[in-house]
Chains A and B, each alone.
Chain A
Amino acid sequence: MGAERVEVKEKVLSANDQIAAELRRHLTAHKVFAINLISSPGSGKTTLLERTVDLLKPSLRLGVVAGDVQTRNDAERLERHGIPVQAIETGGGCHLNARQVEGVLESLDLAQTDLLFIENVGNLVCPSSFDLGESLKVVLMSVTEGEDKPLKYPAAFRRASVLVLTKVDLVPHLQFSMQLAVDNALSINPDLVVFSTSSFSGEGLETWSGWLSEQVSACKRDS
């Protein structure tokens, strides 16, 4: 008997995508706006979240899912800001997947949450492939990383809706062109909404937090 070709045409991550779709329905039903933060290690995800949480806590009910390969350090830092945090320790895994998020979401009171931050594992490659049921992905890029990051890691920039440049207070000390970095990112994804921030000086944080508040309001209206 000869070999015969059977068409399958199934997305390799369909199992993850199905759980993510279920999570998205669940979050939408509770009118929760959820963002999935993706970046290289050390670009400032946790520090940005700490500052953002302080700014938004008076007006919004917040929650965090914090992923790390090992330790609960990030989760503990965020817990000190007085908001509910669930940690996912991937134990070597280089990204969060939808099943892991599903596992911890039960422990958060979604009826009492307006905005959920999902802090992915620090890695600019793998997390971009895994849908977590979020409303949108936010990619962070610190100014110490080099302007060509978007060209080297196009998948993350392509799938994100928002780019947050971090540590911009350091620009005077670096040979870093903000314009070139943003142009590179827009060449990959012309629809990116771009914010420039410094968690150290506070620059840009009001604008970023204000934008998040608007998204939460829109999410409440639409869903």
Chain B
Amino acid sequence: MHEMSLALEIRSICERELAKLPETRITAVGVQVGAFSGVEVDSLQFCLEIVMSEGFDGVRCEIEREPGRAVCLNCDREFRVERAPFECPSCGALARGVSGGGGLQLSYMEVE
């Protein structure tokens, strides 16, 4: 539901960054979305396309998911996690807690 506010924030960061680069235009934006950020990727993509069409028409929106990492309580293996429950791929035991995967950032702009 809050993806529209996030898309508007992304556009205003783009506007601010573009002001530093005279006579260029943005062709793409890259956004990294953490698996546990609470952000729905399809919805963000949709909202970005809408808000970018004002002022940044035709910009590609490239969304990359950032997984979290968990450590197995049983065998100490560290593994990537996209969603709960966090089962160890080696021994099937559960890990408790994850690190990473909580962020949401504008990684890059592609300009020409």
Q: Answer yes or no: do A and B interact.
A: yes
Interface residues on A, range: 35 or more
22 contacts between A and B (CB under 8 A): A3-B110, A5-B30, A8-B13, A8-B17, A8-B105, A10-B106, A11-B105, A12-B13, A13-B6, A13-B9, A15-B12, A16-B9, A123-B1, A125-B38, A129-B39, A156-B38, A159-B102, A187-B85, A187-B86, A187-B96, A189-B97, A190-B97
Nearest 7 CB-CB pairings of A with B: A155-B38, A126-B2, A94-B1, A190-B96, A151-B84, A190-B97, A3-B112
What CA separation (Å) do A126 and B5 show in the bound complex?
10
Tell me whether chain B's interface is mostly helix, strand or loop, or mixed: mixed
Chain A residues with CB below 8 A from B109, complex form: 5-6, 8
What are the interface flags for B64-99 relative to A under an 8 Å C-beta threshold, 1 for contact and 0 otherwise?
Answer: 000000000000000000011110000000111110
Given contacts A3-B112, A12-B13, A15-B12, contact A129 B84 (CB under 8 A): no
What CA separation (Å) do A125 and B111 show in the bound complex?
33
Chain B residues with CB below 8 A from A24, complex form: none
B13 touches A191 (CB 8 A): no
Q: Which residue of A lies closest to B37 (CB)?
A: A155
B102 touches A12 (CB 8 A): no
Residues of B within 8 A of A (CB): 1-2, 5-6, 9-10, 12-13, 17, 21, 27-28, 30-31, 36-39, 83-86, 94-98, 102-112
The residue that B21 contacts in the complex, of A6, A159, A189, A190, with Cβ under 8 A, is A6
Tell me whether chain A's interface is mostly helix, strand or loop, or mixed: mixed
A191 touches B106 (CB 8 A): no
B104 touches A13 (CB 8 A): yes
What CA separation (Å) do A191 and B102 show in the bound complex?
16
What CA separation (Å) do A13 and B106 show in the bound complex?
10
Chain B residues with CB below 8 A from A156, complex form: 38
Q: Which residue of A lies closest to B86 (CB)?
A: A187
The residue that B2 contacts in the complex, of A7, A95, A150, with Cβ under 8 A, is A95
